């Protein structure tokens, strides 16, 4: 399988992100999910085949499923040659758009993005577990003693972070909320995040999958708060199998964990050039993305 690492379209480039290339379509945008992969906030030089298709199609799947909970920015997922041809004709392009856009792109409405990542945690894992071990807190919030790694939390924790292009994300503080004029908006963000997580967790659990944590992004469109960016993908969520779940240890995760593990094993740090990924690590990562997509949707990307 050939990976799509970079795109070049006859359209104005709106943003070149870590994973997505975004093109301007007037009051709409074309989101293209490439096969680029990042780890520890660094984009790696090696792409992972099929990753972009999984991200795009899984987001489209969840946007459809959750539209009754909160509206989202998706207009159309470019899921066929016909859809791609319609888009080319609508834009009045002389040259047709490349076939690789099929399955990995969607047209969305342009919203005013809120600079917040709405993280919600149902289980104690990842950075939350590291913080808890050191300080007995999660996101600075004191927690009961004696919690174990990967343990189900009594109530899912809403732990929003900053979202910045120039610094690492960090827990959102009261000062941040005041400076960003978000005091009146935070209750709505938390309510939407909890409703989405509750629905998705129940849905996934029936299919043998635990969503340990995830994050959402929101924006304003015509005075309405809507869901934007991506939704419940392996890039934004931690997926575990119910069958292998065991409290008190780290869980096999259906995301880019093979990449993280390999990088840590090489002794790499973010001050060094990123080494290219070995073929076996790429293959394992592709397999995990495709597997979780199939489990959740019953289809192949």
**CATH number of residue 236's parent domain:** 3.30.470.20
- Both 31 and 96 in a single domain? yes
CA distance 250 to 241: 12
pLDDT value at residue 41: 83
> What mean pLDDT is predicted for residues 220-242?
97
User: Which band of pLDDT confidence, cut at 50, 70 and 90, is reported for residue 270?
Assistant: confident
Question: How many domains does the structure of the chain reveal?
Answer: 2
pLDDT value at residue 169: 78
pLDDT value at residue 167: 64
Burial class (CB in 10 A: 0-12, 13-18, 19+), 12: exposed
pLDDT value at residue 94: 81
Query: What is the domain range of residue 131?
Result: 113-257
pLDDT value at residue 166: 57
Nearest to 276 by CA among 82, 23, 45, 64: 45
Non-local CB neighbours of 84 within 8 Å, separated by 6+ positions: 78, 96, 97, 99, 101, 102
- Both 150 and 174 in a single domain? yes
Contact assessment for residue 115 and residue 164, using Cβ atoms and an 8 Å cutoff: yes
pLDDT value at residue 141: 92
- Both 141 and 91 in a single domain? no
- Both 88 and 155 in a single domain? no
Residue 98 located in a structural domain = yes
Q: Judge whether residue 206 has pLDDT over 60.
A: yes
Residue 123 located in a structural domain = yes
- Both 88 and 120 in a single domain? no
- Both 175 and 225 in a single domain? yes
- Both 150 and 86 in a single domain? no
Q: Judge whether residue 1 has pLDDT over 90.
A: no
- Both 97 and 222 in a single domain? no
User: Which band of pLDDT confidence, cut at 50, 70 and 90, is reported for residue 271?
Assistant: confident
Q: Judge whether residue 165 has pLDDT over 80.
A: no
- Both 119 and 99 in a single domain? no
Place of tokens 């003693």: 145
Residue 299 located in a structural domain = no
> What mean pLDDT is predicted for residues 72-101?
95
CA distance 143 to 79: 45
- Both 167 and 196 in a single domain? yes
Report the CATH number at residue 28. Answer: 3.30.200.20
């Amino acid at each position: 399988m050939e990976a799509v690492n970079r795109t070049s379209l006859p359209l104005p480039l709106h943003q070149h992100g870590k994973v997505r290339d975004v093109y301007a379509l007037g009051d709409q945008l074309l989101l293209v999910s490439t096969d680029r992969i990042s780890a520890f906030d660094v984009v790696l030089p090696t792409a992972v085949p099929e990753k972009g298709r999984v991200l795009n199609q899984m987001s489209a799947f969840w946007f459809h499923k959750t539209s009754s909970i909160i509206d989202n920015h998706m207009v159309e997922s470019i899921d066929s040659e016909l859809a791609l041809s319609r888009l080319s004709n609508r834009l009045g392009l002389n040259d047709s758009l490349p076939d690789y856009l099929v399955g990995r792109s969607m047209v969305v409405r342009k919203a005013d993005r809120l600079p917040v990542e709405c993280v919600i945690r149902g289980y104690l894992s990842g950075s939350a577990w590291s913080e808890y071990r050191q300080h007995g807190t999660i996101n600075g919030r004191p927690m009961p003693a004696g919690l174990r790694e990967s343990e189900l939390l009594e109530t899912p924790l809403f732990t929003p972070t900053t979202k910045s292009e120039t610094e690492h994300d960090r827990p959102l503080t009261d000062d941040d909320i005041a400076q960003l004029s978000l005091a009146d908006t935070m209750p709505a963000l938390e309510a939407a995040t909890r409703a989405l997580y509750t629905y998705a967790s129940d849905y996934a659990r029936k299919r043998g999958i635990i969503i340990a944590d995830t994050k959402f992004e929101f924006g304003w469109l015509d005075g309405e708060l809507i869901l934007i960016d991506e939704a419940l993908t392996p890039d934004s969520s931690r997926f575990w199998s119910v069958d292998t779940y065991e409290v008190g240890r780290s869980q096999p995760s259906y995301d880019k964990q093979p990449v993280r593990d390999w990088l840590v094993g090489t002794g790499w740090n973010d001050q060094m050039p990123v080494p290219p990924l070995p073929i076996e690590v790429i293959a394992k990562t592709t397999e995990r993305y495709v597997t979780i997509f199939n489990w959740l949707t019953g289809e192949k990307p």
